[in-house]
Amino acid sequence: MLIALSVKYEGDWETMMKAIREREVIPDEQVLEYLKTVQSKTLTLADPEYPECWKSSFRPPLVVYYYGDLSFVKDEKMCLAYIGSREATPYGLRMATRLAGEASKEGLTVVTGLARGIDAAATSATLETNGKAVAVLGSGIDFPYPLSSWDLYAKLKISGLILSEYPGKTAPKKENFPARNRLIAAICHGLVVGGATKRSGTLITVSFALGSNKEVGCLPYQADEESACNLLIKDGAFLIETIEDINSMIGFETKGSSDEGLKK
Domain count, the chain: 2
* Range(s) of the domain holding residue 91: 70-262
pLDDT tens-digit profile of 51-67? Answer: 888 888 889 999 999 99
The per-residue pLDDT for 255 is 56
Q: Looking at the structure, tell me whether residues 124 and 201 fall in a common domain.
A: yes
Do 132 and 6 lie in one domain? The reply is no
Gap between the Cα atoms of 39 and 95, Å rounded: 36
pLDDT-derived band at 262, boundaries 50, 70, 90? very low
Does residue 177 share a domain with residue 118? yes
Dump pLDDT digits (tens) for 3-43: 999 999 999 999 999 999 999 999 999 999 999 999 999 99
In angstroms, the CA 59 to CA 53 distance is 12
Q: What is the CATH number of the domain that holds 138?
A: 3.40.50.450
pLDDT at 159: 95
Task: Specify whether 31 is located in the same domain as 75.
Answer: no
Tell me which residue of 97, 61, 68 sits closest to 82, measured CA to CA: 97
User: Does 48 fall in a domain?
Assistant: no
Measured CA to CA, the distance from residue 137 to residue 167 in angstroms comes to 11
Separation between Cα atoms, residue 172 and residue 194, nearest integer Å: 24
Q: What is the pLDDT of residue 254?
A: 59
Length of the chain measured in residues: 264
- Let me know if residue 52 belongs to a domain: no
Residue 208 falls inside a structural domain: yes
30 and 75 co-located in one domain = no
